[in-house]
Amino acid sequence: MKKLLIALLVFTMGVQVQAQDTAAPEMDEAQMARMMELMAQKIEMDVDTTLFTAVSTNTYVSENPKAVVMAMMVPETFAKAKEKMAADDTAQFKITDRGEKTINGVNVLFMEGTSEAEGSTLDNAVYCMEIDANTCLMFIGMVDQKADAKYTEAMNKAMNSVIKK
């Protein structure tokens, strides 16, 4: 399970730093404090706790099969998030689809693909919606391809509960 969480964190950070300008300045203390404050903010999410266990604020996992749902606020403009999500595959994440669509009346960015963790192939979904001019909400769901359909359904239900006006 620790390896899955580490893979999730690497994936999440990879999405966040992907396509950033390497000459960009380091975050100052105020920016870092804002990022930590946003990422710690509790997000209302409808998670099936018979399938998933809370492991931290806004992060839920299942032991077997492997599945994760996670939401977080990030200090980023929608335009910057769109630029990052348009970047190519990484070694950890092979993209199968991406773009923009409307969910629950909200325009969102999405990216779907596969990754490997602990010998399992995971289907991944990343959604991003604008909260304000400098903040986005990210939802990440990962489900083992061999998992029962109820895990994917629970992930989609959690995503739909997060993405709303």
Residue-wise pLDDT for 82-95, tens only, equals 999 888 778 788 99
- Whether 163 contacts 129, CB under 8 Å: yes
The pTM assigned to this predicted structure is: 0.82
> According to the model, what pLDDT value does residue 7 have?
46
Tokens representing residue 163 in the block: 């993405």
Q: Using CB atoms within 10 Å of the CB of residue 80, give its burial: 0 to 12 exposed, 13 to 18 middle, 19+ buried.
A: middle
Low-confidence ranges of the chain (pLDDT < 70): 1-26
Using left for φ > 0, alpha for ψ between -120 and 50, and beta otherwise, residue 58 falls in left
Domain 2-19+42-162 classification at class level: alpha beta
